[in-house]
Structure 1
Amino acid sequence: MTPGRTLNVRTDKETGVAIVTLDRPTRHNAIDTTTAAELTATWRKFRFDDTVRAIVLTGAGEKAFCTGIDRGTDVPQPDSPYSMDDPLLTVGPKANDLWKPVIAAVNGMACGGAFYLIGEAEFVIAAEHATFFDPHTTYGMVSAYESIHMAQRMPYGEIARMSLMGSAERVSARRAYETGLVSELTAPEELLPAATKAAEVIAAHPTEAVQGTVRALWSSREAARTHALAQAPHLITLGNLPQERQAELFTGRGSGHRTR
């Protein structure tokens, strides 16, 4: 990893597979403004790199895939109910017009803003100890973008339960597999090899056909998703507690939860 960087990107020109690793394990791979900018730059670079035909996205270590936005990141917000600055809006591949397939390899916790990334992956492979949860409502925040992304991948009742229960409940990798969010479960040490193997198979196919298939799949749900995402900023502005109240909830609540 290059000093000062928060992503580790490895490309195998022989197989056509790139592995993108969120590399902030001491912060549970939370996304700060630097990581957000690096993700955006990486996806846009891959658009023009013919040696990359499929991508695996994962997190460093075994504790977390990604825990969303780093709460220590200071993102100035405009003093207006009609606009907001969300540093995660451009962290996903589709937001950067990249139609090369992305496989999410989830190793540990995936929560909150992690769903911006998972929501724009083609499919998810998870380690058996992985968990999925969304703490927004617990801390006085509207789960808008996150729940909209996941509503495209999970049954309504499952995403509603996860979003509304907040940090009190975590979805196990097994339950995520049973409901279709995860397509394959592996032992922790087999996660990256399994995701890489799948990516290598896809990368071996003609890239125009692969990208066209990805675009076709996304077209089937793009209208509903785009319409829903357009409502997100207003819902967040209306429903979020003031930031100082959110901070009080973060520091004042315990971490008790149950996994199902």
Structure 2
Amino acid sequence: MTDAAGGPVRTRRDGAILEVTLDRPKANAIDLATSRIMGETFRSFRDDPDLRVAILTGGGEKFFCPGWDLKAAADGDAVDGDYGVGGFGGLQELRDMNKPVIAAVNGIACGGGLELALSADMILAADHASFALPEIRSGTVADAASVKLPKRIPYHIAMELLLTGRWFDAEEAHRWGIVNEIVPASGLMDRAWDLARLLASGPPLVYAAIKEIVREAEDSRFQDMMNRITKRQLRSVDVLYDSEDQMEGARAFAEKRDPVWKGR
């Protein structure tokens, strides 16, 4: 197990799992410099063949992330400045992120912080977590949430949250399917690591194919997407179909044993 301390982003590496902690007191708000560090962190995770799963959480017990640092903006950070690779928070626009990411929301997640959590593949929420998209009250738009939420939850609920900016708790977030699971705060990270270990034991090439298919299918017709998959026009699917892991899965099934995934 290795830990990297210092700066607003802390990482902890254990086997194939990387834990990323946004730790920027008092509230874990993200300025341009922090966003660039997060982008480099997630790009390194994406490109490291020995890492399979990432966990994203916030430092402390009150805030996951409130989004954009308005104080930094007042001091000269431009809202349209250089967020670095991956866009705001380093994750939501990072290309070819074909590995699972778990968000462990340990407190307040609002504005860009909620959008950052929505960039993960699974979201666990502490029982005291709360959420909002308050950009409307500041005269601006929650752009990423405006794209994502109406596709993931009932349209009228998404529009209510976007148009009013109201707060909602973990129970409501779970009811609408925004979060996968609510966990007592004291057990949040243990649960996140249990889930990460489960995913890390699975077939990484299949995960990559799933993530690329889901991403590419978002704006595609069903048959068009199926044709692309059948013709192996997606890189991750093409790699999977010629892989050792594909053969290993078949052998393990035939031999009635657990497969040993090598990611190749």
Aligned residue in 2 for 1:93: 91
Determine helix, strand or coil for the equivalent of 2:93: helix
For the 8 Å contact 2:114–2:132, the answer to whether it is kept is: no
Which residue of the partner structure matches residue 43 of structure 1?
42
- Cα distance between partner residues in 1 of 2:144 and 2:9: 23
Q: One-letter code of the match for 1:101?
A: P
Please state how far the C-alpha of 1:138 moved relative to its aligned partner.
1.0
On the 8 A contact 1:92/1:116 being kept in 2, the answer is no
Residue pair 1:90, 1:96 contacting (<8 A) in 2 also: no
Query: How far apart are the structure 2 equivalents of 1:116 and 1:70?
Result: 14
Distance 1:222 1:188, change over 3 A: farther
On the 8 A contact 1:25/1:64 being kept in 2, the answer is no
Q: Does structure 1 residue 218 correspond to structure 2 residue 215? A: yes
Q: Indicate the residue corresponding to 1:132 in structure 2.
A: 131
Q: More relative contact order in 1 or in 2 (CA 8 Å, sep 6+)?
A: 1
State the Cα distance separating 1:214 from its structure 2 match. Answer: 1.7
For the pair shown, which has the larger CA radius of gyration, 1 or 2?
Answer: 2
2:181 is equivalent to residue 179 of structure 1 = no
**Secondary structure of the equivalent of 2:119?**
coil
TM alignment of 1:86-235, pairs within 5 A: 87=83, 89-93=87-91, 95-97=93-95, 98-166=97-165, 169-222=166-219
Q: Which residue of 2 aligns with 1:10?
A: 12
CA separation in 2, counterparts of 1:110 and 1:70? 13
Q: Distance in 2 between matches of 1:25 and 1:197?
A: 27
1:133-171 superposed Cα distances (whole Å, 9 cap, x missing partner): 0111112112322322333332222221111112xx211
Please say if residues 40 and 90 of structure 2, whose CA atoms lie closer than 8 Å, have aligned partners that are also in contact. Answer: no
State the identity as a percent: 33
Write the distance in 2 (CA, Å) between the matches of 1:178 and 1:91.
26
Which residue identity does 1:173 align to in structure 2?
A
Unaligned runs of 5+ in 2: 222-264
C-alpha distance 207-33 of structure 1, shift in aligned 2 (>3 A): same
Distance 1:92 1:220, change over 3 A: farther
> Per-residue deviation at 1:92?
4.0
- State the one-letter code of the partner of 2:91: P
Runs of 4+ that moved beyond 6 A: none
- Alignment CA distance shift 1:105-1:161 (3 Å): same
Change (3 A) 1:62 1:139: same
Aligned 8 A contact 1:91 1:116 in 2: no
Q: Take 1:222 and 1:125, find their aligned partners in 2: how far apart are those partners?
A: 27
- Residue in 1 that maps onto 2:61: 62
* Alignment-derived partner of residue 247 in structure 2: none
The structure-2 alpha-carbon separation of the partners of 1:223 and 1:143, relative to structure 1 and needing over 3 Å to count, comes to: farther
* Separation of aligned partners in 2, 1:113 and 1:86: 16
Q: Separation in 1 of the partners of 2:194 and 2:144? A: 31
Q: Hey, what does 2:260 align to over in structure 1?
A: none
What is the identity, as a one-letter code, of the residue corresponding to 1:183?
N
Q: CA RMSD in A?
A: 2.0
Shift of 1:223: 6.0
TM (norm. structure 1) is 0.75
Counterparts of 2:21 and 2:87 in 1: how far apart (Å)? 19
Secondary structure of the structure 1 residue equivalent to 2:134: coil
SS of equivalent residue, structure 2 residue 167: strand
Distance 1:123 1:25 in 2: 25
